[in-house]
Amino acid sequence: MACNMKNLVYYLDKPGGSFTPVEEDLPNPGPGEIMVRTRRTAVCQSDVVIHKQGLARIRQWPAIILHEACCQVEAVGTGVTAFAPGDLIGLGCDIPCPDRHCMYCGENGTGDWTSCPQTHATGHEFPGFARSHAILPDWFVQRGPIVKFHPEIAPDHACQLEPLACCLEGLTRVNNCIEKRVVVLIGSGSQSTYALQCALAMNARKVILINRGAERLERVLRDFADPRVLGLRWDDQIVSRVFEECRPFNEPHFVMVTAPCAPAYELAVQVLGYGTVLDGHAGVKGASGKPRIAQTVDLNNDIHYKLQCYQATHGSSMHGIRRAHALINEKRLPRLDCMTNATERFHHSQIQEALARSADSDSLKVIIHWD
């Protein structure tokens, strides 16, 4: 049946290069495998970086990038019972390594895939979804980050599973720091805007959004307006204004750094108070590598007596994927469509244009259509 089927694959020839569409034969799924058809891919900022300058983890060029995807199951191999043709599925980016005995990724592992020395990710070691179809191998089908959506969930929402999962890893790594509490988000890009929506869905008392540039901050405040959301321009009064806005509390309960720059970290530590959890969510990387951002911590007065917590999250595990799946599937993110406006939608023949739009300073989430 599938023996005459073709797969349209867009290969990125080299860092800074261009995409070439290639038609390849598409085999039937083998035992334990599933064949999926790509419905939507969303563009991650990491795709923009890979496209511009490559990534050490991608060893093979030409490469198939794009890792935020939702797909429809087209055919299943013998022995597959968890999925059936017609299922709408969403996929995570970080995936288990193929070793089923791995202490991190295996059947009895911790599930901390991003800690595995052989860590795998879609669009890096595993080919991404810049292709019309994919065959997912048996280990991916059994242990990978695949979730099935309710048939009435829009593919435009399902394809945002992965970035939402990353953000939810940060919001939920420590229990009880969002509900009824004050959340500060430094930066107003897509991860921050996902965090804003999730924090509201998780019943945060107040969300304070801090950004340098006015353009994107205004877009987020307009499209995601809520009585509990407040935007602050990042000026030299910012620290005292954050503390003022936390009243009747003295300080925020959760501070997330989503802007990938040293000043964002330097600001974050200045607004910590009693019981604050700091999530270093955006790494800082420049042309000369990853700079040291030094901070003196008083382990007794700040950590012990003030119960402060320093944490970081990047990537996602099944924990974040399950939470993101629940929020999308239960339609608890009513503004999700505002992440993508008409200028942020592209056909799969325009991957290059989609990546360029994603790099714009006012852009939130670019979606590529494959139907």
Taking the complex as a whole, how short is the minimal distance between the CB of residue 2 and Zn ion, in angstroms?
A: 29
Q: Please check whether residue 276 is in contact with residue 174, taking contact to mean a CB–CB distance below 8 angstroms.
A: no
Q: Which stretch binds Zn ion (CB under 5 A): 5-13, 37-45, 192-200, 256-264?
A: 37-45
Q: Is 105 in the site for Zn ion (CB under 5 A)?
A: yes
Q: Is 149 in the site for Zn ion (CB under 5 A)?
A: no
What whole-number distance in Å separates Cα of residue 124 and Cα of residue 83? 25
Position with the least CB separation from Zn ion: 44
Taking the complex as a whole, how short is the minimal distance between the CB of residue 256 and Zn ion, in angstroms?
A: 16
Q: Is 355 in the site for Zn ion (CB under 5 A)?
A: no
Q: Which stretch binds Zn ion (CB under 5 A): 17-25, 38-46, 275-283, 304-312?
A: 38-46
Of positions 48, 73, 80, 102, contacts Zn ion by CB under 5 A: 102
What residue ranges in 19-121 does DSSP mark as E strands? 19-25, 34-42, 68-76, 88-91, 94-95, 120-121
Q: What are phi and psi of 167, to 5 degrees?
A: -65, -40
What whole-number distance in Å separates Cα of residue 354 and Cα of residue 290? 27
Of positions 12, 36, 44, 202, contacts Zn ion by CB under 5 A: 44
Q: Is 97 in the site for Zn ion (CB under 5 A)?
A: yes
Q: Is 246 in the site for Zn ion (CB under 5 A)?
A: no
Output 190 or 308, the one with its CB closest to Zn ion: 190
* 172: exposed, middle or buried (Cβ count in 10 Å: 0-12, 13-18, 19+): middle
Which secondary structure element, helix H or strand E, spans residue 368, and what is its range?
strand 367-369
Chain positions 64 to 93 lying near Zn ion, rule: CB under 5 A, are 68
Q: Is 141 in the site for Zn ion (CB under 5 A)?
A: no
What whole-number distance in Å separates Cα of residue 348 and Cα of residue 121? 22
Output 74 or 169, the one with its CB closest to Zn ion: 169
Q: Is 116 in the site for Zn ion (CB under 5 A)?
A: yes
Peptide bond into 248 cis (omega under 30): yes
Of positions 104, 149, 254, 370, contacts Zn ion by CB under 5 A: 104
* 285: exposed, middle or buried (Cβ count in 10 Å: 0-12, 13-18, 19+): exposed
Residues near 268 by Cβ (< 8 Å), separated by ≥ 6?
A: 186, 255, 257, 278, 280
Output 116 or 367, the one with its CB closest to Zn ion: 116
The site for Zn ion (CB under 5 A) is made up of 44, 68, 97, 102, 104-105, 116
